[in-house]
Structures are given as C-alpha cells and as structure tokens.
Amino acid sequence: MDSIKKFLLVIVISILMLPARTFSMKKLCKKLIVRSLSIGFRKKKKVLVLMGPPGSGKTTLSNMLSEEINWSKFSAGKICKNLNISESGELVADEFICLELKNWLNENFSSSSGIIIDGFPRTVKQAKSLNSLLGDNLGHSDLKVVSLKYDPETIIYQTSNRYVCSNKECSKVYLLTDCSSLVPKKGMICDRCSSTLVRRRDDEPEIVEKRLKAYHGYEKKLTSFYKNEHLDFVAFKLDFDDSALSLDEQFEKFKELIGIN
Ligand SMILES: [Zn+2]
C-alpha cells in the first residue's frame, strides 16, 4: 500500500514537472522523485528486543546473531558495567540508558542490517520510549519482542558455572556444567580471541537471586504492555544442557521464530 502511494506521488510530481521551464525547477522536481522512490522501496528494519533474566541466554543469542548475520547489538548490561552503574534498575540508570540507547540508535540504525536490543526495556516507561524512538525518530522498523523463558534453579546453577572472556570487545560466554555445549576448547582460554576467562561478580548466587526477583517484578508488567499494544511478542526457551538439541539446532529454531530463515 505504501509503495502504491509513493508511486502515485511520483506520477503527480512528474505531471507537475511538465510545465517546469527553468533548470532549477526541473532539478528540484528530479530531487523530489528520487526521494519518493527511496522512501517507497525502503525495507523495514528488523529490531529484536531480548527480554530475560541473567543466564537466560540473551548474550549468547545476540552474539550468535551478530556473528552469523552481522546484526548490531545494544546491551544495556554492558553499558551499566562499563560505566559502573548498578543494573538493579534505579531510575537514574533508567533515564541514562534511554539516552545511551537513543545515541546508539542514531549512530547504528541506518547502517545495520538488523538491530538487537539486549536487556532493555525494564519498565513500561522505557518500553514506551523505545516505541517512540523507533516510530517517530528512526522511521520504518519491524519490532519483535522475545521473552526468554527460564527456570530459577537452573539459572542459579548455570550462572555459578558461567565464565566470560575478559576481553571486553569479545565477551564470549562459556558454561562449565557437565552437559554444557559451551565449554572452552583449551582450558580457561577464549576460543575466539585467546584471552583468559573470568567469572563475573554478578554471577554470585546471592546476587543472581536478587536480580531474578527484580526481573520477575518487571517481566509481568512488560509482558502485559506488549500484549496490550498488540506488538509482535513471542516466547522462547534456550536450554544450554538440553541433550536432545545442540545449541546450533536451537539457534536455527530461534531464527525461524523471529523470521530470519
Ligand atoms: Zn574472547
């Protein structure tokens, strides 16, 4: 429907161009036609929001997407860590992250084939800000929200066995549980960049329990917000210890779910 409207606009401009006698008028009309065509055939940008508590697989999935299909990722958790801001959701941090996301989108939106937003929004206010950023300021976008399902006991077990690459540019995540498919190939060294692996302080069981409780608090509100807004909202569960499906097979299912296969 949009393309038809743009096509009609081009026809109208072309008709108006007929009596344009001066060079500058013709030049202006040509510019308008090129602009109309570029808007008419612009593809909607896919934007994926990953909701989930620590250990539910947000980072793993966003890393896989960015490695395989080169999508750009914004990680609210990473911003908080780099700036030493608590992730527990204080209002100051909320406002600050909204601004960080706005600047990041302005820099990355047009040049990226797809966008992943990990760990944001956390409040309904933030979800509204995101809609407005994508809708009003950044043009056409196809937003999909994925809520990652979890089992609290498994999360605590897994995060206490989770290690990450100490190289901030890499941050690849490893899981040292018995049936894990995310074990490093050579001891405590990153497969991708050979940096050493470290355990995050946030992965201590008591801190994880606190963060799970906080997540549970805003998960319900955000879920009903997205459902009421009739936005594309789906659920997915990533099993790191599932022997039936490998991580790659689960990733294929995930890509199918978000419509990029
Ligand atoms: Zn690494």
The three-state (H, E, C) secondary structure of 58-70, written as one string: HHHHHHHHHHHHC
Give the number of other Cβ atoms within 10 Å of residue 68's Cβ. Answer: 12
Q: Separation of 45 CA from ligand 1 center, angstroms?
A: 29
Amino acid present at 150 = Y
pLDDT score at 113: 87
Please give the average per-residue pLDDT across 133-158, as a whole number: 82
pLDDT score at 25: 65
Mean pLDDT, the chain, integer: 81
Give which of 154, 146, 150, 156 is closest to 119, Cα–Cα. 146
45-257 sits in which CATH class? alpha beta
Question: In the chain, where are the structural domains located?
Answer: 2-40, 45-257
Q: Is the pLDDT of residue 173 over 70?
A: yes
Residue that wins the pLDDT comparison between 87 and 26: 26
pLDDT score at 26: 64
In tens, the pLDDT along 185-226 reads 999 999 999 999 999 888 888 888 988 998 898 899 999 999
Q: Separation of 115 CA from ligand 1 center, angstroms?
A: 22
Provide the pLDDT confidence category of residue 1 given band limits of 50, 70 and 90. very low
pLDDT score at 91: 47
Q: Separation of 215 CA from ligand 1 center, angstroms?
A: 28
pLDDT score at 149: 92
Q: Among positive and negative, which fits the CA dihedral 216, 220, 221, 225?
A: positive
Give which of 98, 118, 103, 108 is closest to 141, Cα–Cα. 108
Q: Separation of 167 CA from ligand 1 center, angstroms?
A: 6
Q: Separation of 256 CA from ligand 1 center, angstroms?
A: 28
The label of the residue with tokens 């890393």 reads 63
pLDDT score at 10: 60
Please give the average per-residue pLDDT across 81-101, as a whole number: 68
pLDDT score at 171: 86
Q: Separation of 164 CA from ligand 1 center, angstroms?
A: 8
Q: Are 67 and 80 contacting, i.e. CB atoms less than 8 angstroms apart?
A: no
Tell me the C-alpha distance between 128 and 47, whole Å: 15
CB atoms within 5 A of ion ligand 1 belong to 165, 167, 170, 172, 190, 192-193, 195
The token pair that represents 62 in the structure block: 């966003």
Give which of 138, 165, 150 is closest to 208, Cα–Cα. 150
In tens, the pLDDT along 41-86 reads 456 788 999 999 888 989 889 989 998 989 999 988 777 776 666 5
The three-state (H, E, C) secondary structure of the chain, written as one string: CHHHHHHHHHHHHHHHHCCCCCHHHHHHHHHHHHHHHHHHCCCCEEEEEEECCCCCCHHHHHHHHHHHHCCEEEEHHHHHHHCCCCCCCCHHHHHHHHHHHHHHHHHHCCCCCEEEEECCCCCHHHHHHHHHHHHHHCCCEEEEEEEECCCHHHHHHHHCCEEEECCCCCCCEEECCCCCCCCCCECCECCCCCCEEECCHHHCHHHHHHHHHHHHHHHHHHHHHHHHCCCEEEEECCCCCCCCCCHHHHHHHHHHHCCCC
pLDDT score at 3: 53
Beta bridge partners of 47: 115, 143
Q: Separation of 71 CA from ligand 1 center, angstroms?
A: 19
pLDDT score at 122: 86
Give the number of other Cβ atoms within 10 Å of residue 3's Cβ. Answer: 12
* Strand 162-165 relative to strand 197-198, pairing: antiparallel
pLDDT score at 236: 92
